[in-house]
Amino acid sequence: MTTQDRITSADLLAMKRDGEKVSVLTAYDVSFAKIMDDCGIDVVLVGDSLGNVVQGHDSTLPVTMDDMAYHTRLVSRGIKHALLVADLPYHSYESVEAAVSNAQRLMAAGAQMVKLEGGVKLLPMLEALQQEGIPVCGHLGLLPQSVEELGGYKVQGRDAASADVILKDAMALEAAGVSMIVLECIPSALAKKISHVIKIPTIGIGAGVDCDGQVLVVYDMLGITRGKRPRFVRDFLAEVGGQVEDKVSAAIKNYISAVKQGRFPDDAQSYQ
């Protein structure tokens, strides 16, 4: 993507068609958002992962709509080029009415698209959001908001039955008008199949290099996160030298380049 205009869903579709990888990072404040935008990131996600990396919780579940609206407003002030996506947090889209109201709140805060976790159970909400003209990003595989139901942070879709469910969910989301889908912690072969079957972009995180793009939590990508890090994380900051500000910019540019060229993720950051 070379245009300096604001990236849209149509641009992402064109990138998939042209074989250009989509680079995505999370941001929670204006400073990181501006650095990413200046580096040429395609999509910035205000993730409910802020519950872990900003607020210090063990999961994303405590994150509220107030939190998401606040951080979306901050990030929106730093972006002129990238597409801005914001997560609808836990318990914020359990009904059609709640989904529409809360999505409208994030859009008013500066988001251009909202992200929801789940498959066919979301179809009534997705239909209502379509009617309101609110673009949606789906999220399949490991669903952090359902981590307790899933029995922890585990790779999903390793057996034929669960893989088929994820594939059918992806097709259902596409049919419902979803603009793109995040695939988290699923085998590379399954992510590759889904990416070929559906026409909308797939954004991988722990889903192999054959997705149409990649997303990482920025603090993970910069090696800031403490404790055990997931297998799919690479510390891009450790790969560059110089002053801290220069290293952050260089690390983000390195990440974008690695995504665009298909060098990230490699086998060490993928599941079989």
Q: Where residue 131 falls among pLDDT bands split at 50, 70, 90?
A: very high
Continuous H helices in 88-187:
96-108, 123-131, 160-175
* Helix (H) and strand (E) counts in the chain: 10, 8
Closest to 48 in 3D by CA, of 151, 134, 137, 121: 137
Categorize the per-residue pLDDT at 243 as very low, low, confident or very high, splitting at 50, 70 and 90.
Answer: low
Give Rg (Cα) of the chain.
Answer: 17
| pLDDT at residue number 246 | 79
Q: Are 183 and 141 in contact (CB under 8 A)?
A: yes
pLDDT at residue number 3: 46
3-class DSSP state for residue 254?
Answer: helix
Is pLDDT of 176 > 60?
yes
Mean pLDDT of 66-79: 98
Average pLDDT of every residue of the chain: 93
pLDDT tens-place string over residues 17-41: 999 999 999 999 999 999 999 999 9
CA gap 109, 103 in Å, rounded:
10
- Specify whether the CB–CB gap between 46 and 87 falls below 8 A: yes
184 catalytic? Reply is yes
Out of 132, 174, 184, 245, the active site residue is 184
For the chain, give every domain's residue range. 9-269
CATH topology of domain 9-269: TIM Barrel (3.20.20)
pLDDT(2) > 60? no
